[in-house]
Amino acid sequence: MWHVVAAGFLFFPGLYHLCKRCACWARPGWPEADYSLISSRIVSSVQGVLAAVSGIIVITSCKDVKYDRHWLATTYLWVLIPYMVYDTYAMFFRHWYKCKDSKVLNGKDHFSSTMNSLLQKDFLMLVHHISLLTVLLPIGLFIRGDIGDFYIGCLLVAELSTPFVSLGKILIQMNLQNSLLHKVNGAFVLVTFFVCRILLFPFMYYAYGKQFGIPLYKVPFNIPLHCNITNAAIMAPQIYWFWLICRKAKKLYSNSNSGKNR
């Protein structure tokens, strides 16, 4: 699968730089940080669509939730390695350009200011990326053996919310946060994130219980403890992010209603 990894290391950074060049051509005079943000969000959206489509194919192909196999489940895990490395790189450079454009270094050198900004604003996302690369992907590729492709497909479907989250960031960057498109997109963010990242976990337990004739509430007691721990570790940040999204949505729609009542 090393050719898949090599292709990913060419595809994701290549798409990022292509998007950045197109953004420079379409919007000359923008700060470098804006070009970086929009380009990285487009790449994230592409990856989200690819992952979600792959996940849906795997889920619909695996009738036995434990033992059925589909080549896309393992292949896309290899794709995630270069993507996570690239996205960490892109996340760093978003803060690099932001510090450079703002020219506010707080007495520190550029690299130190960038790292400080990254750790303050994207710490949880950085931990998420590192955890995937060092723990979850090795488990999915080397430790789980020949079982669980169905559940890998479920986790890939979680990326369905990414294009809507990315579009929201792009609209804000383009000062369209008060537009109807942004409000409609916000509703899609809420629905897709809740369904694909929160309800996803009860669905996986339900699918297991349905196949083996176990009530949903008993499933956690009939699977290995490490499976429950892994699911809890993956679900915890999703709940936190969903809470943040709900706060932003409340603010967005409250401001919209206040504007209508004036």
Q: Give pLDDT, residue 221.
A: 96
Look at residue 101 and tell me whether its pLDDT is greater than 70: no
Higher pLDDT, 45 or 253: 45
Give the domain range for residue 116.
2-261
Contact assessment for residue 98 and residue 33, using Cβ atoms and an 8 Å cutoff: yes
Helices 180-193, 162-173: inter-axial angle, 10-degree rounding: 150
Q: Give pLDDT, residue 167.
A: 94
Q: Give pLDDT, residue 1.
A: 82
Q: Give pLDDT, residue 108.
A: 59
Number of domains in the chain: 1
pLDDT digits (tens, 9 = 90+) for 135-194: 999 999 999 888 999 999 999 999 999 999 999 999 988 888 888 999 999 999 999 999
The count of other CB atoms within 10 Å of the CB of residue 5 is: 14
Contact assessment for residue 113 and residue 106, using Cβ atoms and an 8 Å cutoff: yes
For residue 118, which amino acid is it? Answer: L
Token look-up 């950085």 returns: 126
Look at residue 103 and tell me whether its pLDDT is greater than 70: no
* Mean pLDDT value of segment 73-96: 94
Going by pLDDT thresholds of 50, 70 and 90, the confidence category of residue 94 is: confident
Higher pLDDT, 107 or 184: 184
Q: Give pLDDT, residue 258.
A: 54
Q: Determine the Cα–Cα distance for residues 62 and 153; give it in Å rounded to an integer.
A: 9
Look at residue 257 and tell me whether its pLDDT is greater than 80: no
Q: Give pLDDT, residue 159.
A: 95
Helix (H, G, I), strand (E, B) or coil at 32: helix
pLDDT digits (tens, 9 = 90+) for 20-60: 999 999 888 888 888 999 999 999 999 999 999 999 999 99
Look at residue 19 and tell me whether its pLDDT is greater than 90: yes
The count of other CB atoms within 10 Å of the CB of residue 22 is: 14
pLDDT digits (tens, 9 = 90+) for 193-240: 999 999 999 999 999 999 999 999 999 999 999 999 999 999 999 999
Q: Give pLDDT, residue 46.
A: 97
Q: 203: part of which helix (H) or strand (E)?
A: helix 200-212
